């Protein structure tokens, strides 16, 4: 079985631009969570979706949004990019939104 | 807050044992995870503790005391490939994992 897949793996954007990151969960997993990891820190929670509904939102500005599709894949959108948005964006899936979370390889976003 | 504290760095010799401690607030606790993360890569799952006690899995063991808000990850027979960041993460029953900043373990020959 394929694990959690994320695309793209690397991305360079300019300040003010918009970015869309994609995630496909493990087959059978209905929950997807997004995390931001800045260098030298632990991952910070952004969103969790379960059965296409938002279950939780972290302390991030409204420039960050996400959605989950009927096939349980998910997109994270970030508008009006700032230099401080440069980070590794991680997607994690779980069967129910609790229990063991499996992480994807991440998308490395660099904002210049 | 939900402060999760773990040491920043630890260094040990190949073949030795290292113990990484993690403390957290006890209210709302639902479970504790340990993840390993190599530089530039995604976290990989190591262990999940819900009940008090020691869980052993090969060279890695994890301990939990819910009343004390305390866990540790024990790495035995250290190998060079164990050089990585080790993340303690807590499920406070709020649909997310709250992570510590990570402990960077350096294994020396």
pLDDT the model gives residue A97: 66
Distance CA B60, CA B47 (A): 9
| Whether the predicted pLDDT of B87 surpasses 50 | yes
Q: CA of B79 to nearest chain A CA: how many angstroms apart?
A: 23
B1 — pLDDT class (breaks 50, 70, 90): very low
Residue pLDDT, tens place only, A6-25: 999 999 999 999 999 999 99
CA–CA dist B76, B59 (Å, integer):
5
Q: What is the tens place of the pLDDT at every residue in A24-79?
A: 999 999 999 999 999 889 999 999 999 999 999 999 999 999 999 999 999 999 99
Grade residue B26 by pLDDT with cuts at 50, 70 and 90.
confident
Q: Find the CB nearest B42 among A45, A99, A103.
A: A103
Min Cα–Cα distance to chain A from B88, Å: 9
Distance CA B98, CA A42 (A): 9
Q: What pairs with residue A58 in β-bridges?
A: none
CB distance B106 to B9 below 8 Å: yes
User: In this structure, are residues A91 and A9 in contact, taking their beta carbons and an 8 Å threshold?
Assistant: no
């Amino acid at each position: 079985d394929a694990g959690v897949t994320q695309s793209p793996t690397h991305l360079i954007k300019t300040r003010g631009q918009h970015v869309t990151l994609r995630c496909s969960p493990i087959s059978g997993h209905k929950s997807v969570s997004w995390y931001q990891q800045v260098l030298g820190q632990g991952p910070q929670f952004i969103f969790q979706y379960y059965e296409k509904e938002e279950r939780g939102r972290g302390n991030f500005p409204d420039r960050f949004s996400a959605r989950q599709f009927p096939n349980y894949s998910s997109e994270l959108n970030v508008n009006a990019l700032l230099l401080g948005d440069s980070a590794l964006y991680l997607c994690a899936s779980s069967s129910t939104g609790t229990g063991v979370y499996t992480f994807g390889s991440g998308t490395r976003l660099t904002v210049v | 807050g939900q402060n999760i504290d773990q040491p920043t760095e630890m260094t040990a010799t190949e073949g030795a044992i290292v113990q990484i401690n993690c403390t957290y607030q006890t209210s709302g606790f639902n479970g504790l995870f340990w993840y390993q993360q190599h530089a530039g890569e995604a976290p990989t799952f190591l262990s999940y503790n819900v009940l008090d006690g020691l869980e052993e899995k090969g060279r890695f063991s994890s301990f939990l005391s819910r009343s004390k808000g305390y866990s540790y990850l024990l790495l035995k027979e250290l190998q060079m490939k164990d050089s990585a960041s080790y993340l303690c993460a807590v499920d406070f029953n709020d649909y997310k994992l709250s992570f510590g900043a990570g402990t960077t373990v350096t294994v020396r020959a």
